[in-house]
Amino acid sequence: MLDLVSVGPVLVVDDDMVSRHVLGQALAGAQLDHIAVASGAEALAQLEHVSPSIVLLDLVMPQPDGYQVLRILRARPETKDLPIVVLTALEGEDEIAKAFEAGADDFVRKPFKPVELVARVRGQLRLRQAMDALARKEKDAQVVLELTQALASNLDFRGILFTVVQRIAEVAKVERVSIVLVREAENIGYVVAASDDEQLRDLPIDLAKYPEIQQVLANGEPLVVEDAAKHPLLELLRTSGQGSPNFASLAILPILYEGRPLGVLFLRSRRRGVVSGREIGLCQTIASAMAIALRNARVLQSLRDQTQQVTVARFEAERRMRSLQRYADFWESSADGIVVIDAEGRLLFSNPKAREITGYTERDLAGRLLGDIFAGDQRPLAQELRAGFSKGEFPKDVDIRLATADRRAVIVNVNFASVLREEGAVLCSFRDVTRQREVEAELVKTKDFLQRVIDSSVDAVISADLRGRVVLFNRAAERIYGKPAHEVLGTDARSLYPPGTAQKIMRMIRAGGGRIEGLKTEIVDGQGEHLPVNFSGALIYEGETAVGSVGIFTDLREKMRMEQRLQQAQEQLLAQERQAIVAELAGAAAHELNQPLTSVRNYATLLRRLLTPSSQASAAAEVIEGEADRMAEIVRKIGKITKYETKSYVGTQKILDLDRASEEIPAAPRSNR
């Protein structure tokens, strides 16, 4: 799409009114501004006031004709590169050649097609814009080359910065260009150069009053404010009582080195919207070159300072070594490793034992930072130690892993001392405790394993020292006693037993040669209840000396409940067996008694019927018949006995209760078959 904002109108020069009208319609239809004149003289006069983007020129006109106008335009410096498209109705090729020789860029034959005409015009405009852009890039490249050479070659860096900002102001056509540098984690900026003040040097400014600079430093992106009177970022300046800003537009570009802001390039103008994208790109390129120059300048100064510091440090180290020499004989014979370090953490001296432990030679250690011989993950500790030395803190009994010369894993126990404080040094003595720490680590692992074994036991395990203080109380003990371990540890073990029980058990252990097994006793739980347990215990010895005791408790409550349930089951089984025997005996007895009893009753009935009623014999027969009936009822009950039930008879004597033993139980429903 053609950029019509930056180009002027199309100048139409044709003496034919109809042609001018047709040309005007074609250009208007393509949304191209145009000015139409009827002669060459009018065209030349119009060029005094208007800067057209292109000229549509008819060749055949009254004097001056198109050829003359062409020559005049090409002779003028301001129009020598102006695109010109000639219009002609002439058919001869020599006329076209003559027009090109006079300076024409293109031609259109009359009568023309509006589409072709507009296409030719747009093509010439695009070509001219491309050439202008190329020329601007070439000019910008010259400016960048000029300033880059200045930044790289001039030793007067202050003069370089002033040259840069002054040249940028000329190219960008703004009133003021300044360079503001900042330091990390500071809210103060320094104006180190300004295009309108050659004498300005390191003017401090409070960045809190420049939110626009803070924004660019924060996001690393350029900021362009075309109207400072309306931009929200400058509201603080407008409402702070300082009045309106004395500039109408501004552009701020970050000066970045490896992604970190060193400062900003600040362009200000009294006109609105004067800084274009081209100027922004040019300034950004210069800012990048400036960042490298600024960094190099800082590095150069840093190297100078560092060289001076090294020189001073070397003389100081030599002085310290002379002062430490009087201690050397004593340290040389020490069984511990000894090194002397300065406030910067550099090694000034090492004795033979220190070199033996670390594996380094005296030359390797001299001047080396203490952190360099620490294992990788221990190096932050070196910085902490140095910080502590400056505060008068000298730790004792510190374990540190060293990075030895032969890559061995060495742990040393270190003590720091301030005996050489007047010399600005710290004495460090250490010994190799690698094997000792390995054994300790193994013991810790074994202890942890045994602790897990004890905690996983289903029996309670309780240990106490010889004073009776509980030192071990496992999870099973917590469960049985209903107490957490932290409430029991350190308390008197006697509180875990009924009164006098603990002393009794201890006497039994001593009498049993230091151990006892399978003792049934009681303990007291957290609610004060007595619980039955099976106890096994022993004394704990160190060599021949008893140092404590340990007891293992098995909770017997569940076992006792099981025994009780077993006894109940046995009693129930015995009762069932007894009832079965009684039922069998009752059935057999009823069967055997039923036949003779029936005979007796029948004979008694027969006699009563044969004898005279109311006679003594008849009465006796009636009695016999009644007693036989009663006996038959008893036999019937005996035949129905299903369980063993008794009742009191005389004193404590028990007899079978026929009524309860022969109570009928509901018959089970018959299944359908």
pLDDT bin (cut points 50, 70, 90) of residue 469 is: very high
| Pair 38, 20: CB distance under 8 Å | yes
Rounded alpha-carbon distances, angstroms, from residue 10 to 49, 57, 100: 14, 11, 20
CB neighbour list of residue 405: distance below 8 Å, 6 or more residues apart: 358, 359, 360, 364
Counting every residue, how long is the chain? 673
Tell me, what's the pLDDT at 66? 83
Report the range out of 96-100, 299-303, 526-530, 558-562 with the highest average pLDDT.
526-530
Tokens linked to 494: 């006697």
Asked if pLDDT for residue 667 goes beyond 70, the answer is: no
Task: Name the strand (E) or helix (H) holding 583.
Answer: helix 557-610
Tell me, what's the pLDDT at 49? 84
Tokens linked to 396: 């004792």
> Across all residues in the chain, what is the average pLDDT?
79
Q: Which CATH fold would you assign to the domain 333-438? A: Beta-Lactamase (3.30.450)
Asked if pLDDT for residue 166 goes beyond 70, the answer is: yes
Whole-angstrom Cα distance, residue 566 to residue 231? Answer: 96
Please give, one letter per residue, the 3-state secondary structure of 527-540.
Answer: CCCEEEEEEEEEEE
More confident residue, 497 or 236: 497
CB atoms within 10 A of CB 384: 11
Asked if pLDDT for residue 593 goes beyond 50, the answer is: yes
pLDDT bin (cut points 50, 70, 90) of residue 298 is: low
CB neighbour list of residue 103: distance below 8 Å, 6 or more residues apart: 70, 71, 73, 74, 84
264: which strand partners? 180, 254
Helix, strand or coil for residue 86?
Answer: strand
Tell me, what's the pLDDT at 159? 66
* C-alpha gyration radius of the chain: 60
Domain positions in the chain are 10-133, 154-303, 333-438, 457-555, 566-661
- 71-85: pLDDT as tens digits: 888 888 888 888 888
Its CATH class, for the domain covering 457-555, is alpha beta
The arithmetic mean of pLDDT across residues 591-607, rounded, is: 82
| CATH homologous superfamily, domain 10-133 | Response regulator (3.40.50.2300)
pLDDT bin (cut points 50, 70, 90) of residue 365 is: confident
Tell me, what's the pLDDT at 544? 86
Residue type for position 37: V
CA 617-621-625 angle, to 5 degrees, is 170
Tokens linked to 359: 């594996």
The arithmetic mean of pLDDT across residues 463-488, rounded, is: 90
577: left (phi over 0), alpha (psi -120 to 50) or beta: alpha
Tell me, what's the pLDDT at 308? 56
Tell me, what's the pLDDT at 414? 92
pLDDT bin (cut points 50, 70, 90) of residue 3 is: very low
CB atoms within 10 A of CB 59: 24
In this chain, the answer to whether the domains covering 10-133 and 333-438 adopt an identical fold is no
Asked if pLDDT for residue 534 goes beyond 80, the answer is: yes
Lowest mean pLDDT among 286-295, 484-493, 570-579: 286-295
In this prediction, what percent of the chain has a pLDDT beyond 90? 7
Its CATH class, for the domain covering 154-303, is alpha beta
Scanning the structure block, which residue is given the tokens 């040097």? Answer: 201
Q: Which CATH fold would you assign to the domain 566-661? A: Helix Hairpins (1.10.287)
pLDDT bin (cut points 50, 70, 90) of residue 303 is: very low
pLDDT bin (cut points 50, 70, 90) of residue 132 is: low
Question: What's this model's pTM, rounded to 2 decimal places?
Answer: 0.35
Tell me, what's the pLDDT at 210? 85
Asked if pLDDT for residue 161 goes beyond 80, the answer is: no
pLDDT bin (cut points 50, 70, 90) of residue 412 is: very high
| Pair 359, 352: CB distance under 8 Å | no
Whole-angstrom Cα distance, residue 370 to residue 345? Answer: 5
Lowest mean pLDDT among 153-157, 183-187, 594-598: 153-157
Whole-angstrom Cα distance, residue 340 to residue 324? Answer: 9
